Each structure stands twice: as structure tokens, then as C-alpha cells.
Chain A
Amino acid sequence: MNPTLEAILCNRQLIDAGGVIGLGLFALAAARIARESRSPGARLMAIGAELLLLARLYSLMAPHVLSTDVLLAIGALGNALTIGLPPLLLGFGLCGVVGGLWVHLRHLRGLALAESPRP
């Protein structure tokens, strides 16, 4: 195998950790913006980023945690949730981040329009 590919595949935990850290920083930044500029979009962005973070952590953890015993113990509803919930969380999280960015930009533009003097 190509040594670069092999190096990347051997360090995939590190790269995944980088992605999770970036997502957490994004959630922190959105929460800070929401607190300081009172923008509803930033709040939505923070919620979306946290949903994405939850789904990402779950998908990283699932192969190590979900064994056959666990799947038997959590029953039919739990089984359905393990299959159905992560795509839903990823979808809603992405939707929240993008919609939050949009609402936040509209909020900023509204602020700029309100502050600029009308001729």
C-alpha cells in the first residue's frame, strides 16, 4: 500500500480527534457569539453543532461499545434508535449549522442597516 495512505489510515484516531475538536471549537464559538451579540442564528448554530458533535462522537464510539449483548439488552426500540438516530442527528445538525449561519448573517445585516444613517 501507498505509505502516505497507510500513515493516514494508521492515524485515523488522531484525525478523527482533530475533527471532533474543531466541531467543539465551532460550538464554543457559536455559543460565545450567541451570548455576546444576542443573535438567534448563533444559538441555532450552537445547537446544530452540538447535535453534529453528538452524532460524530456516537459514530466514533459505536464500534467499541455496541456488542451483540448490548444490542440484545437495549431491545427493539434501542436497536431502532441506534440505526435511525445518527443520520437524523447528522441531518438536523447540518441543517442547524447552515440555517444558523444564514440567520446570523441576516441578523448582522439587520444590525448594520439599523446603525447606518438613512439619507
Chain B
Amino acid sequence: MIRFQLPLLLASTEMDEMIRPVFLLVMGVLLVVFAWRIAKSASACNARLIVVGGLMLGFGYAVLLPILETAEIMAHAAPARSHAVTAETYGWHTVVLVVMNGGWLLFGIGMALHAKIWRVPGTRGKTSLHHCS
């Protein structure tokens, strides 16, 4: 039976609960750095979209999600308070919803415009990806 529980063990051990916020924080910071460096090779409008989206995603991954997950772990540790759904909880979830989804939308649109996925093939030769530094 232990074989069947392997994903469960991988996802919900105490170690994972401690590692996951740190992992999210590192990934968020790296995402901002790499979005910044990718945006240097894009045109002005796309660069703005990529940087704004990357900053929103980085803020979401590096700040909001670790705080939210830690708060949920704390709420599990103190079950007396875990059922209190307050305006604060709604506010947190709203901010996470808007920041993460907006960040992915802006970052995705910026990368899509940068990669020219709406270009008709064969009309203008090579994309800018071949000669960006």
C-alpha cells in the first residue's frame, strides 16, 4: 500500500511544506531577473508587457504565495481559527487571483508578441529572435 501513497507522501510531507515557500521565493526572483533580461532584446512595447507581467508574477510567486501557504500551514496548526473566513481571507485570495492571473496574461501576451506567433509564415523572413543579442 505504501507504493500507492508515494505521490501523497511526496506532496505533503513536513519537509515539503518547509521547502515549498523557499522554492517559490527563489523561482519568483529568478523569473523577474530572466524576464528583465529577455525584455532587453524585445521592442519597447513588448518589453514593457514582459517586464510588467514578470514583475507581477515575481511578486505573486516570491511574496504572496509563500505568505499565503505559510498562513495556511499555520491555520492547519491551529485548527480553532481555521474555520474563520474573514474579509481578510477574501482580500488575500482576491489579490492572489488578480496578481497571478494578470501576471500570466501580460507575460504571455508579451512573450507571444515577442515571438511573433501571429506572423503569417513566409511574409517577412526571419523573426527578431535570430538577431537579438
Q: Say whether A36 contacts B130, CB under 8 Å.
A: yes
Bound Cα distance A28, B94 (Å): 28
Q: Say whether A112 contacts B108, CB under 8 Å.
A: no
Bound Cα distance A77, B2 (Å): 10
Q: Say whether A83 contacts B97, CB under 8 Å.
A: no
Residues 29-50 of chain A: 1 if any B CB is under 8 Å from the residue's CB, otherwise 0?
A: 1101100110000000000000
Output the nearest chain B residue to A18 by Cβ-Cβ distance. Answer: B105
Q: What's the minimum C-beta distance from A116 to chain B, rounded to whole angstroms? A: 9
B-chain residues with CB within 8 Å of residue A76 when the two chains form the complex: 1, 4-5
CB < 8 Å A-B pair total: 127
Q: What's the minimum C-beta distance from B122 to chain A, rounded to whole angstroms? A: 13
Residue in B11, B30, B34, B126 whose CB lies within 8 Å of A84: B11
Q: Say whether A36 contacts B30, CB under 8 Å.
A: no
Residues of B within 8 A of A (CB): 1, 4-12, 16, 20, 23-24, 27, 30-31, 34-35, 37-38, 41, 53, 61, 87, 90-91, 94, 97-98, 100-109, 111-112, 114-117, 126-127, 129-130, 132-133
